Amino acid sequence: MKTCLKDKQELVAYLLGDLDKAEAEVVERHLQECAPCRRERDFLKKIFNGAGAAHRDLEKAMATVDWEALPERIARKVFDRPEAGRRERAGTSWFPAFSFRPAAVGLAAGLVFGALAMFFVLRSGLSGPKPPSGFYASPEFFDRAELEMARRETLNYLDKSQALLLDFVQPASAESTGLWQEGLGQRQAQSLLSKKKYINSQLSHLQMAKAKDICDQVELLILELAQVSQDLNDEERGQIRDRIEAGQLWLKINLVKKELENSEHESI
Amino acid sequence: MTEPALSNSQPAADLIDRIKAGDREAFKDFVRAYQQKVFQLAYAFFGNREDAMDIVQETFLRLHQKLDTFRSGYSLQGWVLQIAKNLCIDYFRKNYRRRKELESEKSLDDLQLAAEENGAAARAAELKDLLSRCIHKLADKQRMIFVMRHYNQFQVEEIARILNIAPGTVKSLHFKAVQNLKSQLSPYLGVSR
């Protein structure tokens, strides 16, 4: 006895006439013996009959179309629209490059226009006088601006150095001790040393001699601070403090700062 | 089902060459030969005349643009129906699926009730409608194969050629389509599964 055909392709193939005679006979014999397969066959027949009914609808719908007129209608759409003629031209033209497309024409026009514009711009730039600039500044103005920038940089450097030195020389507090123990003070000192390198050239170039002198002295101290160990004792701290006081560095920094603040445009 | 005869028994490649050269009559012969095949496919796919007519026109417009892609020796009918099939699927995805889903969701139960109240003829009509809605819920390839097999009445080998897949795949996808239709329809046809 053949195994059940329910949910197998064979039964569908049988109903659609896709099996050869021998295969079909085997299925028929099985159907006589198997009630579930007969129910399955009846159900599938309903589906295929439904599709058959739809096919009859299709035939009715086809009868409503004017098949004689349709080719001409479609041909009109194909051949009578602007781009339709292009295929004809492309096929018969002796030189396909003449079968321009709007995009290609636009591109070519753009290239020609761009080339002409470039030609006129270059020609006027090479032969004619230079057009007046929208901004003009005298060399003196630039010198003053440079000096002003150097002055501000120096003031900034001295302010920061003074703050760092103050942190160092003031009586040990939890805050300042923490600053140096965690290495923050050393890092600030390194940063100030880098800044000093940057303003060195300005101080020399702009002949800010007095400021340069003080900045150099500060730099030496900062250099020392950058190298001090994190566990500096009070005695060593006192020595550095004495040197700051002996050189009246505090006073000198204040004086230079005051001068820098007062002389916005003067050479120091 | 055989290829439709072209006028003057012209070989496909010659016909295509003449259309490429701008021969309007050749193009009309081409449309005449395959317009009904395309219509059958599209009508079965969408179940209405207007969309089917749109697909027929669009198919031949597209074919005219793609004449250079026809490979000589290949079945002209296969090429035409392959493009028609792609257009049907695109059109369905763009415009149809959601609309049909909404209609189907709303009316499947209504259809069953109507069927119970009316006679045998009405039941047959309802079954056809019900089936059409269920077909729209199938996956694209399953739907296309079911439609080609039952509405266009193509044989397995022809479908395989048109869709460029193996005959075994056609059989298997057709069987899956039938199984899906069975599971969709069984609650409405009162068949115990």
The pLDDT assigned to A94 comes to 41
Q: pLDDT band for position A193 (50/70/90)?
A: confident
Put simply, whether A52 touches B (Cβ < 8 Å) is: yes
Q: Check CB contact under 8 Å for A53 and B125.
A: yes
Picking from A190, A201, A188, the residue whose alpha carbon sits closest to that of residue A149 is A201
The pLDDT assigned to B113 comes to 44
> Which residues in chain A are contacts of B6 at CB distance < 8 A?
none
Q: Which two tokens stand for residue B138?
A: 């199938």
The pLDDT assigned to A207 comes to 63
- Mutate which of A7, A49, A70 to disrupt the B interface (most B C-beta within 10 Å)? A70
Rounding to the nearest 10 degrees, give the CA dihedral for residues B5, B7, B13, B14: 160
d(C-alpha A43, C-alpha B178), whole Å: 11
The pLDDT assigned to B153 comes to 79
Residue A235 has pLDDT above 60, yes or no: yes
d(C-alpha B32, C-alpha B21), whole Å: 19
Put simply, whether A193 touches B (Cβ < 8 Å) is: no
Q: Give the residue, A205 or A260, on which the prediction is more confident.
A: A260
The pLDDT assigned to B118 comes to 52
Q: Give the residue, B175 or A94, on which the prediction is more confident.
A: B175
Q: Check CB contact under 8 Å for A74 and B52.
A: no
The pLDDT assigned to B74 comes to 75
Closest CA in chain A for residue B64: A78
Residue A84 has pLDDT above 70, yes or no: no
Structure letter (DSSP) for residue B58? H
Closest CA in chain A for residue B168: A9
Q: pLDDT band for position A264 (50/70/90)?
A: low
Structure letter (DSSP) for residue B67? G
The pLDDT assigned to A268 comes to 43
Give per-residue pLDDT as tens, B91-123. Answer: 888 876 656 555 555 455 554 544 455 566 666
Helix (H) or strand (E) holding B44: helix B24-46
Structure letter (DSSP) for residue A94? S
Residue B137 has pLDDT above 80, yes or no: yes
Residue A1 has pLDDT above 50, yes or no: no
d(C-alpha A2, C-alpha A126), whole Å: 98
- Residues 68-97 on B with a CB inside 8 Å of A are none
The pLDDT assigned to A119 comes to 85
Q: pLDDT band for position B38 (50/70/90)?
A: very high
What is the percentage of chain A residues whose pLDDT exceeds 70?
74
The pLDDT assigned to A180 comes to 65
Name the minimum distance, in Å, from the CA of B16 to any CA of chain A. 13
Q: Which two tokens stand for residue B95?
A: 């415009």
The pLDDT assigned to B30 comes to 92
Q: Give the residue, A100 or A181, on which the prediction is more confident.
A: A181
Name the minimum distance, in Å, from the CA of B135 to any CA of chain A. 10
Q: pLDDT band for position A197 (50/70/90)?
A: confident
> Which residues in chain B are contacts of A78 at CB distance < 8 A?
27, 60-61, 64
Q: Check CB contact under 8 Å for A70 and B181.
A: no
The pLDDT assigned to A56 comes to 76
d(C-alpha B78, C-alpha B159), whole Å: 9
Name the minimum distance, in Å, from the CA of B2 to any CA of chain A. 17
Put simply, whether A90 touches B (Cβ < 8 Å) is: no
**The total number of residues written for chain A in this structure:** 268
Structure letter (DSSP) for residue B9? G
Put simply, whether B36 touches A (Cβ < 8 Å) is: yes
For B107, phi then psi, to 5°, come to -110, -5
Closest CA in chain B for residue A88: B22
CB B32 within 8 A of CB A65: no
CB B186 within 8 A of CB B179: no
Q: What is the mean pLDDT of residues B122-143?
A: 79
CB A176 within 8 A of CB A167: yes
Q: pLDDT band for position A146 (50/70/90)?
A: confident
Closest CA in chain A for residue B155: A18
Name the minimum distance, in Å, from the CA of B93 to any CA of chain A. 22
The pLDDT assigned to B175 comes to 92
Q: Which of A44, A79, A91 sits opposite B24 (nearest CB)?
A: A79
Residue A198 has pLDDT above 80, yes or no: no
Q: What is the mean pLDDT of residues A114-134?
A: 72
d(C-alpha B59, C-alpha B28), whole Å: 13
3-state SS of A28-61 is HHHHHHCHHHHHHHHHHHHHHHHHHHHHHHHHHH
Put simply, whether B183 touches A (Cβ < 8 Å) is: no
The pLDDT assigned to B193 comes to 47
To the nearest whole number, what is the mean pLDDT of chain A?
75
Question: Could you give the ipTM of this predicted complex?
Answer: 0.71
Put simply, whether A15 touches B (Cβ < 8 Å) is: no
What is the percentage of chain A residues whose pLDDT exceeds 90?
4
Least confident span in A2-16, A109-123, B65-79: A2-16
Give per-residue pLDDT as tens, B155-186. Answer: 888 888 888 889 999 999 999 999 999 888 88
Residue A50 has pLDDT above 90, yes or no: no
A·B CB contacts under 8 A: 116
Q: Check CB contact under 8 Å for A44 and B182.
A: yes
> Which residues in chain A are contacts of B57 at CB distance < 8 A?
73-74, 77
Put simply, whether B151 touches A (Cβ < 8 Å) is: yes
Residue A98 has pLDDT above 50, yes or no: no
Q: Give the residue, A108 or A132, on which the prediction is more confident.
A: A108
The pLDDT assigned to A88 comes to 43
Give per-residue pLDDT as tens, B49-90. Answer: 899 999 999 999 999 998 888 877 778 888 898 899 889 888
d(C-alpha B27, C-alpha A72), whole Å: 9
Sorted by sequence, the CB contacts under 8 Å of residue B62 that are 6+ apart come out as: B83, B87
Give per-residue pLDDT as tens, A206-216. Answer: 667 777 777 78
To the nearest whole number, what is the mean pLDDT of chain B?
79
d(C-alpha A144, C-alpha A263), whole Å: 12
